[in-house]
């Protein structure tokens, strides 16, 4: 598996761990910690630099190659070499080279990002020093991941050097040969030298070795082949380190462990169950719609009637008749539906609660106290007092009541008006010219006088009876009207409250449904990990 893939896997698991809803917080924390440790291990493995040693005779171009790889002058070339018997180690800023440094090495930092993942060991030239420090070279070369033997056209065939190489290479698995300064040769000369070199190497049992020929000074294409070869080796090295750190295995073991802990089949079953319960809950709506108000408040109809009565505008004789009539009739409004079992809602919701109990005990569910029955009871408690229900109706019927108020005035005034006409003598209609304050006062006086005469008394008693009759009629009419209106409002209110109750119950159950949906998605994601 490539390091990129390993990295993607770790990131995917990390993301999954942070976002999943299935694991308990405690478990999540444990796994997130594990993931962080693994990431640190992975990064350390990725950052382990590839150690490349450049060995060769003096002036063959080792330092020039180092500079070319770095893309800048990080190494001093020819004759300016500061240490003639030490290996100069070029490493990126704070790379962990210090752990491997010893008395044979001089450490040299650089800031070239392009080669931050490799460490270059520049050996002292073998012709003057290598043989003197054979042991040192053997020791240092053991640390190397790759040995690059650099030669120039004039020095490639040195037998002692080739012999030395075959000895060194026994302890190294990765090596290559570089013929530098090919710009000083013709093309066919380069091919000739390479062919000759192959033969020499084979004679010394050095076979299947890559040989690169280029000019480090001119940066020709073959130089980039060499650079790419090194970087490829660096990729392989990274992978080897990751394999050594056993990261892939650890991921597989952990994902297996998590899979074992999560019962995806059970979660799918839970989701099914919950959806069924939600459908079941929806049937509650149609069952309860008619009688919810009765369960919530058995006196609701009376309360609505009273509320409407208070809102009605009466003139006092009719108001009095309305009240007296109400008391006489002992107005107790009959509920519009037959007797219902108030306990059936409880039983219904209890069944749903029981069905969702095992889901709520799952560690991933944060709110483990979802009870539809409690929600239902709480809702009912809220509207238990009938006086709380009536205001929900608002100022319904105010316009009708204003119309009724005008009607009362008209009906009550007509008999009074007729009575006044009668008592003032309708046969003696005054002429327009004679109407004035004087004649008005005379008319009033005559009416008062007539009240004490038998004809006046009869008129007043008749008026009284007529007014009482009208009052009773109007009050009775209004009673009927309010009774019908109350029933209508009762139905509307019942539907409205049922809807509110359903919204409340749905809101309570929805988080669980959402959780189950997400849990199933998390399961699918988990199973998709390689
Ligand atoms: N023409 C040509 N000259 C080169 C090339 N590479 C290096 N040189 C020159 O060869 C000389 C020696 O180069 P260095 O890089 O110092 O060689 P070195 O192997 O580091 O030498 P020491 O550090 O003394 O062992 C320098 O003058 C370079 O400019 C090349 O490809 N072509
Ligand atoms: Mg040098």
Ligand 1 centre distance from Cα of residue 181 (Å)? 8
Span 66-121, pLDDT tens digits: 999 999 988 877 665 556 678 889 998 876 654 556 777 888 889 898 888 899 99
219 lines ligand 1 (CB under 6 A): no
Phi then psi dihedrals of residue 171, to 5 deg: -95, 0
Q: Ligand 2 (ion): which residues have CB within 5 A?
A: 62-63
Which candidate, 231, 258, 211, 237, places its Cα nearest to that of 529?
A: 258
User: Lowest-confidence range among 76-85, 260-269, 343-352, 514-523?
Assistant: 76-85
Predicted local confidence at residue 335, as pLDDT: 47
61 lines ligand 1 (CB under 6 A): yes
Q: Are 349 and 502 in contact (CB under 8 A)?
A: no
Predicted local confidence at residue 339, as pLDDT: 43
Could you tell me which residue, 218 or 429, shows the higher pLDDT? 218
Predicted local confidence at residue 342, as pLDDT: 46
Residue 397: which pLDDT band, with cuts at 50, 70 and 90?
Answer: low
What is the percentage of the chain residues whose pLDDT exceeds 90?
Answer: 19
Q: Where in the chain is the domain with CATH 3.40.50.300?
A: 48-219
Could you tell me which residue, 378 or 362, shows the higher pLDDT? 378
Q: Are 70 and 116 in contact (CB under 8 A)?
A: no
DSSP letters spanning 131-176:
TTTHHHHHHHHHT-SEEEEEE-TTTTT-HHHHHHHHHHHTT-S-EE
183 lines ligand 1 (CB under 6 A): yes
194 lines ligand 1 (CB under 6 A): no
401 lines ligand 1 (CB under 6 A): no
- What integer is the mean pLDDT of 369-390? 77
- What integer is the mean pLDDT of 26-49? 89
180 lines ligand 1 (CB under 6 A): yes
**Is 80 exceeded by the pLDDT of residue 376?**
yes
Residue 224: which pLDDT band, with cuts at 50, 70 and 90?
Answer: very high
CA–CA separation, 198 and 210 (whole Å): 10
**Is 50 exceeded by the pLDDT of residue 373?**
yes
**Is 50 exceeded by the pLDDT of residue 209?**
yes
Predicted local confidence at residue 381, as pLDDT: 81
| Vertex 32: Cα angle to 31 and 35 (nearest 5) | 85
130 lines ligand 1 (CB under 6 A): no
Q: Are 478 and 450 in contact (CB under 8 A)?
A: no
Measured from the alpha carbon of residue 67, the closest ligand is 1
Ligand 1 centre distance from Cα of residue 225 (Å)? 20
Phi then psi dihedrals of residue 262, to 5 deg: -100, 120
Measured from the alpha carbon of residue 127, the closest ligand is 1
**Is 60 exceeded by the pLDDT of residue 308?**
yes
CATH number of 48-219: 3.40.50.300
- Average model confidence (pLDDT) for the chain? 81
Residue 37: which pLDDT band, with cuts at 50, 70 and 90?
Answer: very high
Tokens of 255: 């994902």
Measured from the alpha carbon of residue 125, the closest ligand is 1
Which atom of ligand 1 is found nearest the CA of 67? 15
374 lines ligand 1 (CB under 6 A): no
């Amino acid at each position: 598996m490539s390091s990129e893939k390993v990295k993607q896997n770790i990131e995917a698991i990390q993301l999954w761990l942070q976002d999943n809803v299935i694991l308990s917080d405690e478990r999540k924390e444990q796994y997130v910690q594990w993931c962080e440790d693994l990431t640190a291990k992975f990064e350390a493995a990725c950052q382990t630099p590839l150690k490349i040693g450049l060995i060769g005779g003096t002036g063959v171009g080792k330092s020039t190659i180092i500079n070319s790889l770095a893309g800048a002058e990080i190494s001093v070339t020819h004759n300016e070499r500061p240490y003639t018997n030490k290996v100069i180690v070029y490493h990126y800023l704070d790379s962990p080279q210090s752990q491997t440094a010893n008395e044979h090495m001089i450490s040299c930092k650089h800031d070239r990002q392009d080669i931050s993942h490799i460490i270059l060991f520049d050996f002292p030239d073998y012709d003057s020093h290598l043989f003197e420090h054979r042991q040192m070279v053997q020791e240092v070369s053991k640390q190397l991941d790759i040995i690059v033997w650099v030669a120039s056209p004039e020095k490639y065939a040195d037998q002692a050097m080739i012999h030395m190489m075959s000895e060194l290479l026994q302890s190294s698995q990765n090596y290559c040969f570089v013929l530098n300064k090919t710009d000083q040769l013709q093309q066919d000369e380069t091919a000739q030298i390479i062919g000759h070199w192959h033969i020499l190497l084979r004679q010394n049992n050095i076979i299947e070795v890559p040989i690169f020929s280029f000019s480090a000074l001119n940066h020709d294409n073959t130089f980039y082949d060499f650079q790419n070869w090194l970087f490829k080796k660096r990729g392989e090295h990274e992978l080897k380190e990751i394999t050594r750190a056993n990261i892939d295995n650890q991921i597989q073991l952990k994902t297996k462990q998590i899979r074992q802990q999560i019962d995806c089949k059970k979660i799918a079953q839970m989701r099914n169950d919950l959806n069924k319960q939600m459908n079941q809950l929806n049937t509650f709506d149609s069952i309860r719609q008619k009688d919810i108000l009765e369960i919530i408040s058995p006196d609701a109809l009376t309360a609505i009637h009273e509320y409407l009565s208070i809102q009605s505008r009466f003139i006092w004789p009719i108001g009095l008749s309305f009240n007296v009539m109400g008391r006489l009739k002992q107005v107790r409004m009959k509920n519009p539906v037959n007797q219902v079992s108030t306990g059936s809602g409880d039983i219904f919701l209890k069944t749903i609660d029981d069905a969702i109990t095992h889901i709520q005990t799952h560690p991933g569910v944060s709110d483990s106290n979802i009870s539809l029955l409690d929600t239902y009871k709480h809702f009912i408690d809220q509207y238990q007092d009938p006086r709380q229900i009536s205001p929900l109706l608002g100022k319904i019927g105010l316009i009708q009541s204003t119309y009724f108020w005008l009607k009362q005035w008209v009906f009550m005034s007509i008999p009074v008006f007729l009575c006044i006409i009668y008592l003032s003598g309708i046969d003696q209609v005054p002429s327009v010219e004679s109407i004035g304050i004087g004649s008005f006062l005379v008319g009033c006086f005559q009416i008062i006088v007539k009240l004490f005469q038998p004809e006046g008394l009869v008129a007043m008693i008749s008026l009284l009876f007529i007014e009482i009759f009208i009052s009773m009629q109007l009050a009775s009419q209004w009673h009927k009207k309010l009774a019908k209106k109350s029933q209508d409002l009762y139905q509307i209110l019942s539907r409205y409250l049922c809807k509110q109750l359903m919204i409340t119950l749905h809101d309570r159950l929805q988080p669980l449904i959402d959780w189950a949906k997400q849990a199933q998605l998390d399961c699918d994601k988990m199973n998709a990990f390689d």
